[in-house]
Amino acid sequence: MPLTIATWNINSVRLRIANIARFASEERPDVLCLQETKCPDDQFPHAAFEAMGFTHRLIHGMKSYNGVAILSRVPFAKTEIQHRVGREDCRHVRAWLDVGGDPIALDNLYIPAGGDVPDPDENDKFRHKLDFYREIADWFVDVAPKKGARKGKRSIAVGDLNVAPLEHDVWSHKQLLDVVSHTPVEVDLFGKMIASRDWIDVPRRFVPPSEKLYSWWSYRNSDWRASNRGRRLDHILATPALSDAISAYRIVRDTRDWEKASDHVPVMATFEV
């Protein structure tokens, strides 16, 4: 069966619920992972998502900041809420998708942006981001199935990971080397996270590293298409056990032109499971 998963930093689930409904109707993802929902759990718009067909929901939100949600047409075999770096700031949820046989573990992450100053001694937000990356890499190692295990190898991790790791994941590699999201220390930690489970960078399976690929354009760009000063901050990763299942990907750029648009656009991938 085909399984299509979308990830989208929505920048307020309630403010942009109409855009989510439009996207769900037009693209029909089986699973939609949102970041920056900015919504306490008791105010989450469950009825709207029920009407979209997302009858299985895992939410973890707070007022005004952060927040993650997994909305699914596929049942969950199990769910977990994870707290990272000693904080309960609503950045990581995990659900096992019951797709028959061995369930697929799906992690939805909103990794800290890191502020403006790329120095952990001067900027606590940047230190938080680096610590998060170190911890999540170790955690992925810990939750990986033991050698020889038959189950638990199928995993997908998605979200706004707030790092553009490759040279052509940003509009200007040279100009952004000292800008948070593309600094060498962040790229190095992103690489260590990738190595933790030999993650496959799904969109780059289809688009070679020599080509530009973005998922975010700043609100400061009055004409984002003309300037095209983007970054690829939103990612879909899959473990090698799903390598042969990867069948398609799409970045839905047109949503950036919608009314009340998020500065991020959805990234989608389809797996034959």
Count of beta carbons in the 10 Å neighbourhood of residue 225: 11
How many whole angstroms separate alpha carbon 98 and alpha carbon 34? 20
Q: Are 200 and 246 in contact (CB under 8 A)?
A: yes
Averaged pLDDT for residues 87-97: 97
- Our CA angle for 139, 74, 35, nearest 5°, is 50
Q: Where residue 162 sits, what CATH number does that domain have? A: 3.60.10.10
Can you give the pLDDT at residue 222? 84
Average pLDDT, the chain: 97
Residue 80 in this model has a pLDDT that exceeds 90: yes
In the chain, pLDDT over 70 holds for what percent of residues?
Answer: 100
Residue 180 in this model has a pLDDT that exceeds 90: yes
Residue 101: pLDDT band with limits 50, 70, 90: confident
DSSP-assigned letters across all residues of 174-226: HHHTTSTTS-HHHHHHHHHHHHHTT-EEHHHHHS-TTS---SEE-TT-TTHHH
DSSP-assigned letters across all residues of 50-65: HHHT--EEEEE--SSS
Full domain range(s) for residue 61 = 2-272
Number of structural domains in the chain: 1
Token pair, residue 231, equals 């970054």
Half-sphere exposure of 200 (CA within 13 A, CB side): 20
Instruction: Note the maximum CA span of the chain.
Output: 53
For 182-234, what is each residue's pLDDT tens digit? Answer: 999 999 999 999 999 999 999 999 999 999 999 999 999 889 999 999 999 99
How many whole angstroms separate alpha carbon 153 and alpha carbon 123? 37
Residue 100 in this model has a pLDDT that exceeds 90: no
